[in-house]
Structure formats: structure tokens, C-alpha cells
Structure 1
Amino acid sequence: MTLFARMMGALALWIGATAPGLAHGPTPQKAEEKITIAAPPAKVWAALKEFADFSWNPGITKTEATGGNAAGATRTITLKNGKVLVEGLDEYTAESMSYGYRLSTENLEALPVSFYSATIAVTPAGEGSEVTWIGRFYRGDTSNFPPENLNDEAAVKAMTEFLQEGLTGLKAKVEGKS
């Protein structure tokens, strides 16, 4: 047996032994968007503090909710494309003007993600406010080889666009430009 043949055989054995370890599922993804709003934090918080009220987000046409702002509250949101997402409130802190929530029911037709959690917070920024909206999520197809429409890139793009559209709508509403 030639040296080349032995090397190729060893390479084949190594690949066969390590291939299962090279395969992996999805990795967590993140989208973080910020916007500065020319209004005091209390005014910005007043526009978004109710978990049940998503009227500031032009990407959402309807919201139905139960539980107010208490942990465990739920909301069902209808996106402008007619698709529905169900979310649950995890934490709410009026003092720090922030809340965190998560996707309760997957809907790949609404967003190409299998799960997400998000936080939104208002902080002072100079004479106005800054709103930070962060989403952490997994792609829609959690297999090792997802189709293009359900891969990491599609999930990041969709979540980023959703956050940007919402923050732009919030800014317009608070600044009186909607």
C-alpha cells in the first residue's frame, strides 16, 4: 500500500469518526435595534408601557391580551400580513421602563423563527430618550441543513426588520409624526 493510499484511508477514518461531532443544531441569533426619540423618557414609556397596546407598531394591525402588565400576561398580535403571533410577558419593571417577553406559539409563516425572547427599554439620552429593543431567537428550521427561507440569515433579517419598523413607528407616534 502506498503512502498516499494509507493517508487517504486515515483521512477517511478520521472524517467518519468526527463527522457526528461536526454536525450541530442552530446557534442562538440576536437582533438589537436602537432609536433616539426627541421626547422625555416618561412620554416615550407612556406610549409603550402597556403590554397589550401595540398601536405604536405599524407592523401590527390587532392585539388581544389578557393579564395586563403582570408576569404571565399573554397577547396575540396580528401582523399586517395577517399572520398571528402569541407572546407571553416574562418580566415588567415600570421603574426601569422595560419589559421582557417571549414567543409562546411558533408560527413560521409570521416570522421565520422557532422561538424568541425580547426586551424593550427606554433610557434617557441627552434631551430625549433612547429605546433599545433586543430579540434573541433561533431560526425557523432547527435542523442542520435548513432551507434558505428558514435559516439563520432569514431569521436575523426578519427580526431586524420587525424591530426597525416598530421603533420607527414608536418614534413617529411619540414625536407626533404619525
Structure 2
Amino acid sequence: MLIKYCFITLLLLSVVAESHGPTRKKSQEQIVINVSTEKVWQRIKNFSDLSWHPLVEKVAMLKKGNKKGSIRSIMLKNGGVINEKLKKYQPNKMRYDYKIIDMSTVKTIQHLGDDIAVKVLPVSNYSASIQVTKKGKNQSIVTWKGAYYRGFMNNNPPKELNEIAAKKAVNGVYRAGLDNLKVILEK
């Protein structure tokens, strides 16, 4: 009988927890690049330079430098814009951390009687880091990881702004960038 009550209690708690709203999700992508860590870091170290990313048209710096507080405005090839702020820059660890502070809207949808903006990335409260580490002689690992909430912060999100859409978009950005970085550096 005790087991039955424990099971019912756990079931009810899981329903309550799931209906509470979005939870912070994490994404991580890695790639091994067959060049030295110094060469990889040289290519990605400047917060103002995303020329290695195939989705990026250009970057304009709103606050310049590789210093905490620097802001870059990323113009994407699809016309979208993402503004990011540098949170931490650690050249000795070949790493920097940043967060999205603003994004353009790509479309507006109707959901539960309201107009809802769908941003370039269907996420909220996004922060990330990119880091280069040594794997072996002339081999590097680039790790790009982030944490975020889905784009719709209330319950019952539309499919364009749910956890699946958020993870697919973030992982897609990471994968495209890392794969292209490998191609560029291993030429």
C-alpha cells in the first residue's frame, strides 16, 4: 500500500513540475580540428570576428574590444540581427563567454489569441561560451556550449518557440560554425 501512495505522489509531483513552465536547457557541440590550439585560437579569439561562421554576413562592434562589456551586432545572411555582450574574456584559457542581449524578429504568429514575436533564435535568456583545448600534437578540440530557455516563457508554447525548436536552432548554429571552422583551418 505504501508503494502505491509513493507512486501516486511521484506521479503528481512530476505533473506539477512539468506544468510549472520552461526550464533552463543546455546545448553543447564539439569538434576536433587537426591544427594546433594556437592556430585555432588565433582564428576565433576576436569577439568582433565571426567570418569563419557560414551563417554570418558581417559583425559590427557597438562597444569595441575583447573586454568584458564589449557588444557585437551580428548581421546574418538571412537578414536577421543578433546583439551579443561579452561577459568574460580569458585568452590564457582560450575561452570567452557571452550572452544575447537583443535579437530581431523574423515573424509574428498567432498563439492562444495573441500576436507572438518569433526571434532569429527561438530562445530567451541565452548565454554561451566557446573554448579551444589541446587534444594531442597538432590537434585541438573546440567546445561551444550554451544555456537558455525556450522562446515562449509561458505554458503551452507554440511549436516555433518550444524546447525542441530552441535546441534544434542552437545546436544548428554551433554545428554549422564548428564544421566550417574545421574546413577553413584544415585547408
TM over 0.5: yes
Alignment of 1:82-161 (within 5 A): 82-107=79-104, 108-127=118-137, 128-161=139-172
Q: 2:76 maps to which residue?
A: 79
| Unmatched segments (≥5 aa) in structure 2 | 1-11, 105-117
**How big is the alpha-carbon RMSD for the aligned residues of Structure 1 and Structure 2?**
1.6
Contact 2:34 2:186 in 1 (8 A): yes
Q: 1:132 & 1:22 partners in 2: Cα distance?
A: 30
CA offsets 1:39-96 (integer angstroms, 9 cap, x no match)? 0000000000000000010111110113210000000001221100000000000000
Alignment of 1:14-25 (within 5 A): 23-25=19-21
| Unmatched segments (≥5 aa) in structure 1 | 1-14
Give yes or no for the alignment of 1:32 onto 2:28: yes
Please state how far the C-alpha of 1:20 moved relative to its aligned partner: 7.5
Please state how far the C-alpha of 1:23 moved relative to its aligned partner: 3.1
Contact 1:79 1:110 in 2 (8 A): no
Of structures 1 and 2, the larger Rg is shown by 1
Contact 2:56 2:76 in 1 (8 A): yes
Give yes or no for the alignment of 1:51 onto 2:85: no
Amino acid at match of 2:148: F
TM-score by length of 1: 0.85
Amino acid at match of 1:157: K
Q: 1:28 & 1:142 partners in 2: Cα distance?
A: 11
Amino acid at match of 1:153: I
Q: 1:170 maps to which residue?
A: 181
TM-score by length of 2: 0.81
Greater strand percent: which structure?
Answer: 2
Q: Say how many residue pairs are matched.
A: 159
Runs of 4+ with deviation above 4 angstroms:
19-22
Q: Percent identity?
A: 42
